[in-house]
Structure 1
Amino acid sequence: MNGASREALASAREGLDALTDNTSVDVAELAAELAAVTALLDHEVSLRRVLTDPSQPSEAKAELAGRLLGGQVGGEAVDLVSGMVRSRWSRSRDLVDAVEELANSADLVAAQRAGVLDNVEDEVFRFGRIVASNPDLRAALTDRRADDAAKTELLRSLLGGRAEATTERLVVRLVAQPRGRSLEPGLEALSKLAAERRDRMVAVVSSAVPLSDQQKQRLGAALAKLYGRQVHLNLDVDPEVLGGTTVRVGDEVINGTIADRLDGAARRMTG
């Protein structure tokens, strides 16, 4: 997103944070309702265009959203979406993306409250690696001709009882409503969103052999010093990695004997 949409999304995130700070709010239910709104706006192109039309008064758009959603979703979801349509959006599609992000964030808040956010983060990452290494599974989950109910049933057979409920909801939603996205980038975006719930960066660490606890602590400390914030490590064992370890943080990839290089980089930045 850029321009007006970026500002509108920032405002929507603040609204969600203010709402979910109230522990009496059922955030899992809120997530489901926002996901339903996402599906509605994704399907009804004319509606989302009306709700993001800059020539229409903000209050009129908010009133329309309230009339359409009232009775269909709870008051918290109505208030959030009404606030969002008061904002200016660069593209109507950006509104749908923003509502979807709020739905996923609300589910992650539910995981955070339950003390399982770390598990969700790791499970989403691991599932992404499984999909990437299993072409048949990927084909089954991304086949546009396949029935969504069948895909959902397949996912629940894979994840049910083996993963957190939040993980299952997030992955099922992504597969059932891909909205034109590839599966792997969608899973990666979910992993990053989970990290952002705690203001952390995510580093994907690939090594030929598993790292020891001491190596993980050293690497985490070096990355935190380098980037000035806590970094969560998603660890992946890849026999094809030679000559040390590969670390990817966002678009930046660092290869080599990573702990030594990071220690040196951190010293240069702070010295």
Structure 2
Amino acid sequence: MNGASREALASARERLDALTDNTAVDAALLAEELAAVTALLDREVSLRRVLTDPSQAGEAKAELAGRLLGSQVGGETVDLVSGMVRSRWSRSRDLTDALEELAYSADLTAAQRTGDLDDVEDELFRFGRIVASSSELRSALTDARADATAKAGLLRSLLGGRANPVTERLVVRLVAQPRGRSLEAGLDALTKLAANRRGRMVAVVTSAVPISDSQRERLGAALAGIYGRQVHLNLDVDPEVLGGMQVRIGDEVINGTIADRLEEATRRMAG
């Protein structure tokens, strides 16, 4: 997002945080309702365009949203969506992208309230590793011809009782409503969103063998010193790295593996 949409999303995030600071608000229900509104506006493109039309008064758009949603969702959701349509959006799709992010954030808030946010973050990463290692599972979950209900059922059979309920809800929603995004990109975005709730970065650490707790603590402290903020480590094991480790933070990669050094040496010899 850029321009007006970025400002509108920042305001919406602030309103969501203010709303969910009140523990009387059911964050999980709020997430479900925001996801339903996202799906509605994805289907009803003309309605989405009306609600983001810059030539229409913000209050008129808010009143329209209230009339349409008032009997379908709770008051907190209506107030939040009404505030969002009062804002100016650079593209109509930006509104639904923002609603989707708020839905995910509300579910993560529910996990944070119960002290389960770390578990959810780790489970999202682990599920991504499972999908990456199984082409059959990935195909089943991303097949556009497959019924969304069937895919949701498959996920519940895999995750039910094994993962936190918030993790299950997030993954089911991501698979059922991919919105043109790959499963890998969606899981990565969810992991980063979970980390951002604690004001920390995410590092994917790949090593030839599992690292010890003391190594994990030292690495976390070193990265926190480099980046000036807490860094959450997602650990992966890949024997092909041939020793050492690779650390990926966003688009930045820190390579310290034997395989990487061998590859570099090969390139230099070829040159």
TM-score, length-scaled by structure 1:
0.94
Compute the displacement of 1:88 (Å). 0.6
Is residue 230 of structure 1 aligned with residue 249 of structure 2?
A: no
Alignment RMSD (CA, Å)? 1.0
Is residue 190 of structure 1 aligned with residue 194 of structure 2?
A: no
**Aligned partners of 1:120, 1:238: CA distance in 2, in Å?**
23
Aligned residue number for residue 159 of structure 2: 159
Compute the displacement of 1:193 (Å). 0.4
**Runs of 4+ with >6 A deviation:** none
Q: Counterpart of 1:137 in structure 2: which amino acid?
A: L
Compute the displacement of 1:240 (Å). 1.1
TM-score, length-scaled by structure 2:
0.94
Q: Within 5 A, what are the aligned runs for 1:175-254?
A: 175-254=175-254
**Aligned partners of 1:22, 1:82: CA distance in 2, in Å?**
19
Q: Residues 169-222 of structure 1, C-alpha deviation per residue, up to 9 Å, x if partnerless?
A: 000000000011100010000000000111110000000000111110110000
**Aligned partners of 1:88, 1:107: CA distance in 2, in Å?**
26
Aligned residue number for residue 149 of structure 1: 149
Is residue 85 of structure 1 aligned with residue 113 of structure 2?
A: no
In structure 2, list runs of 5 or more residues that go unmatched. 259-271
Is residue 30 of structure 1 aligned with residue 25 of structure 2?
A: no
Task: Judge conservation of contact 2:244–2:256 (CA < 8 Å) in 1.
Answer: yes
Compute the displacement of 1:257 (Å). 6.4
Compute the displacement of 1:243 (Å). 4.2
In structure 1, list runs of 5 or more residues that go unmatched. 259-271
**Aligned partners of 2:198, 2:135: CA distance in 1, in Å?**
33
Compute the displacement of 1:15 (Å). 0.3
**Aligned partners of 1:29, 1:241: CA distance in 2, in Å?**
44
Compute the displacement of 1:242 (Å). 2.7
Secondary structure of 1:124 counterpart: helix
Query: Structure 1 vs Structure 2: percent identity of aligned residues?
Result: 83
Pairs aligned (count): 258
Aligned residue number for residue 99 of structure 1: 99
**Aligned partners of 1:72, 1:257: CA distance in 2, in Å?**
54
Q: Residues 219-268 of structure 1, C-alpha deviation per residue, up to 9 Å, x if partnerless?
A: 0000000000000000001111134110010111110169xxxxxxxxxx
Task: Judge conservation of contact 2:241–2:257 (CA < 8 Å) in 1.
Answer: no
